[in-house]
Chain A
């Protein structure tokens, strides 16, 4: 039986801690979710929501971020929905992680971290919002 949980918060940096706490409260102790998985889930959501706050809702009084978590014995599915401006993730260049520190860009690692920690990443922009789906297999 899947467990479904949802939280909605304003898209502001203050909400990030609340979202991390929500992940901890809903996922910790679920079979297959160890400390490393929990860390990965929080890191991915933190990076994705930071991006929504910084870019998606830029220049306006921010709207909502909806985080839905679906726990099943096989995987954790997290869907982040926002209603700001949509992104084009497929066009995002990956950072050069091989470069020396002095040649490396200071940003651009969020998407890299998400792809490194999640097993599936999907992004869809529809009439009812922008949906980023993150799947972590257990």
Chain B
């Protein structure tokens, strides 16, 4: 092995630290990425033009939202873009009605310390599917996707309805389309990759299907798969002691995800924590930590 190789301690930023972007900067080397912070400094309509491709037009039209004006059949704005000057993040959300309390689609991106892009949150809800209040506990406190608190009654109902942890409704099954748009958008900005931290085992598995690799946690995913096999410690911990630890749950992605949400990783001295995934633009990593999985 390279016993003497040095690990780089100093992160190297390649994007100029200017707070805004000019036509002159745009005309320079197109391989140098543009940051979200730079875009956020532009006038409102310029930002809107640039961020518009993040939302798949076909998805908006499906819900009666004009993909250019972002207005619905009622003439109201149905898209909310938050891209404040001097901020290094943006969020964009689509709603069925302007006064609807819940988004159909919510996406939040941020510049990271290395001039890369983090996908902080992506929610894609089917507004016509039943809603489960897994996002609030019995006292009405936010559960933060089940990471801070839990509403076990609602979680059990959601699980029986076929949802994965952290979901309040069924998905629109549009993540592939959204990721394609996101990649095109990031390629325009000159980015080669983007990163995320999967909230649940089920979402990590979905991201694998979409072509992500692991910055951290690939071995954990392998260990989870091995330990869920018959004879493994996680398999043994599916002892029926809670509704989320039923013996057959090792067979499916969702079953494992609910058991993990219930804290079953304690059986192997691990936690669902610290995983980070990366998607290389235009490339599929072909990671499969649960071969021939049934969702």
Contacts and interface: CB of A to CB of B under 8 A. Distances in A.
B28 interface: no
A126 B287 contact: no
A55 B220 contact: no
Most A CB contacts (10 A, CB to CB) among B6, B8, B114 go to B6
B191 A127 contact: yes
B2 A89 contact: yes
Contacts of A66: 213, 285
Most B CB contacts (10 A, CB to CB) among A10, A86, A89 go to A10
Given A8-B286, A11-B219, A88 B1 contact: no
B4 interface: yes
Interface residues of B, number: 35
Interface stretch (A32-40, A70-78, A107-115): A107-115
Contacts of A50: 1
Contacts of A58: 7
Interface range, A side: 35 or more
A31 interface: no
A106 to B, nearest CB: 8
Contact of B213 (A8, A86, A108): A8
Contacts of A92: 2, 4-6
A96 to B, nearest CB: 12
Contacts of B8: 85-88, 125
A10 B224 CA distance: 13
B281 A128 contact: yes
List of 4 A-B pairs having minimum Cβ-Cβ separation, nearest first: A107-B3, A128-B193, A10-B218, A64-B213
5 contacts: A10-B219, A61-B218, A61-B220, A61-B274, A64-B287
Interface of B: 1-8, 33, 114-116, 191-193, 213-222, 274-276, 278, 280-281, 283, 285-287
